[in-house]
Amino acid sequence: MLLTKYYNADTLYLKEYNVKQRIGQPEILKEINRTHVLDIIKRERVVSRAQLARITSLSRATISLLVDKLLTIGVVEEIGRGESSGGRPPVLLKFIPDSAFAMGAHMYDSDWSMVVTNLDAVVRRSITLHIEQNSPRGAIDTLKRGIEILTSEFSGKMLLPAIGLGTPGLVDIHTGTIKSAVDVGWAEVPVKKILEEETGLKTFVANRSKVGALAELWYGAREGIKDLIYISIGTGIAAGIIHQGKLYIGTNSSAGELGHVTIIPDGPLCPCGNRGCLQQLVSEQAIATRARQLLRENSRSRLHKLAGNHPEMITVYHVLKAADEGDELALSILDESAEYLGIAVANLVNLFNPELIVLGGPVGQSSRILTDKLAEKVRLRAMAYPLSAVQIVTSSLGSYSGAIGASVLVLQQANRLIFQ
Ligand SMILES: [Zn+2]
């Protein structure tokens, strides 16, 4: 059972350890089960050595060795004896989430948001650093400064020797290379390689909407959900797809490019070369541009005042605020945005049959109205049966959600980092 879960789960792990060909051999099964000891303790919260041996099929002696290591680090504590099932009552081990910590960083515009989370992905420290120079070198140097700050603050504590990164653009998760990030004009940046060489930290890199999805899975409002899609709306639009509790990345880790699905066949030209892509219609810039256009025909909108009577200064956030205040023009703009977004999201509902769709990113998480309007539009388009299973909500994780998800990239490997 444990093996099945593992085999479906972490292709990266399989690749690195090359166990695919050897799977089924007893020693490999044991190796796999050993790496899941921490996961089991975390899930059970309180567990005995005997239970661990039973669940993993490992010998009592192996379990004792692994537990000794966890006791030394402080990941578990002995909390007395449980109920006897015949012999001596077993000693119970309690999981201590604040015994080890993981670092995550998320890049958006020209800022890094960075967090240190505990083993439950609860934030224990957060910082934001401005990237002075828009270049891969500038971004990496700023990141290294953040790493120094956080590692010195957590000196003396068990900070896992790794970092997770959520970055813009198409990322090859296996090599940790940003293949192309149109937003910032980067291509072929081997972030993982550079950072590992310069800091010695094991580095995990994923696109920022993928880490956003991981944050919702680990730390979002809905516990126990295994199939969810997180949609980040900001300067671009992208989706992070979680299937059966794991990130769905696709063949070359580019799954989820929702911003580039075609909504209007002959619509505005997109930097990707296609026309009528979703993010040409519903991104930060697209909504602001639409507002400026419509304001010419509407002199009564609150948007005039909000932008200090300078329509050229209007941003999407003015539109969201005016909509909250009941401004008709702003509401009509959000209605139109929800219409476009609704086409894409209804397709996702029909294709993936998720239980939860979470709107996040700077725009997505700032407007309850946009989420409600989107839910309305999706209701009109998606098929009734998958629709009956899905809920559409706004992310409640705030501006550090991407950094939390990036720390999850590390937490997913906590077993290996602790037992290595
Ligand atoms: Zn496009």
Exposed/middle/buried for residue 278 (C-beta within 10 Å: 0-12, 13-18, 19+): buried
- Quick one: pLDDT at residue 26? 63
Residue 128 CA, ligand 1 centroid: distance in Å:
30
DSSP class per residue in 112-158: EEEEEEETT--EEEEEEEE-SS-SHHHHHHHHHHHHHHHHHHTTTS-
Average pLDDT score over residue span 31-58: 85
The pair of three-digit structure tokens given for residue 95, joined into one six-digit string:
């999981």
State the distance from the centre of ligand 1 to the C-alpha of 273, rounded, in angstroms.
6
Say yes or no: 232 and 354 in one domain: yes
Distance (angstroms) between ligand 1 centre and the Cα of 262 equals 8
Residue 420 has pLDDT above 80, yes or no: no
C-alpha 171 to ligand 1 mean position (Å): 16
- The pLDDT of residue 13 is above 60: no
Distance CA 324, CA 318 (A): 10
Where are the strands (E) in 13-151, listed by range? 46-48, 76-81, 91-95, 101-108, 111-118, 123-130
CATH number of the domain within which 58 lies:
1.10.10.10
123 and 20 belong to one structural domain: no
Q: Which of 51, 77, 98 is the last residue of a domain?
A: 98
CA of 117 from ligand 1 middle (Å) equals: 35
Distance between Cα 239 and ligand 1 center (Å): 14
Residues 232 and 267 in one domain: yes
Cα 73 to its chain centre, rounded Å, is 27
The kind and range of the H/E element at 238 are strand 237-243
pLDDT of amino acid 28: 66
Distance from residue 257's CA to the centre of ligand 1 (Å)? 9
Q: Are residues 187 and 260 in the same domain?
A: no
Task: For the chain, count helices (H), then strands (E).
Answer: 19, 16
226 and 187 inside one domain: no
* Centre of ligand 1 from the C-alpha of residue 270, in Å: 5
Query: 3-state class of 15 per DSSP?
Result: helix
103 and 87 assigned to the same domain: no
Query: Within this chain, do residues 254 and 196 fall inside the same structural domain, yes or no?
Result: no
Whether 272 and 363 map to the same domain: the answer is yes
Same domain, 82 and 121: no
Record the tokens describing residue 212, joined without a space.
């956003």
Q: What is the pLDDT of residue 349?
A: 98
| Residue given tokens 């653009």 in the structure block | 169
| 271 Cα: distance to centroid of ligand 1 (angstroms) | 6
pTM of this structure: 0.87
Residue 180 to residue 114: CA distance in whole angstroms: 22
Angle at 248 between CA 419 and CA 181, to 5 degrees: 95
Task: Judge if 125 and 257 occupy the same domain.
Answer: no
Ligand 1 center from residue 192 Cα (angstroms): 26
Pair (310, 184) in one structural domain: no
Q: Please tell me the distance between residue 266's alpha carbon and the centre of ligand 1 in angstroms.
A: 12
Residues forming beta bridges with residue 337, ordered by sequence position: none
Predicted local confidence at residue 10, as pLDDT: 39
Taking the C-alpha atoms of residue 136 and residue 152, their distance in angstroms, rounded to an integer, is 24
Q: What mean pLDDT comes out for the span 67-78?
A: 92
List the structure tokens of 369.
């109205």
CB-based contacts of 80, cutoff 8 Å, min separation 6? 91, 92
% of the chain residues with pLDDT over 70: 91
Of 36-45, 100-109, 144-153, the poorest mean pLDDT is in 36-45
How many independent structural domains does the chain possess? 3
Q: Whole domain around residue 112: which residue ranges?
A: 99-217+401-419
User: 363 C-alpha vs ligand 1 centroid, how far in Å?
Assistant: 19
Helix (H/G/I), strand (E/B), else coil: 196: helix
CATH of the domain at 111: 3.30.420.40
Q: Is residue 181 a contact partner of residue 167, using CB atoms and an 8 Å limit?
A: yes
Query: Which residue is listed with tokens 């081990």?
Result: 93
Task: Among 98, 126, 155, give the residue marking a domain's end.
Answer: 98
Residues 212 and 232 in one domain: no
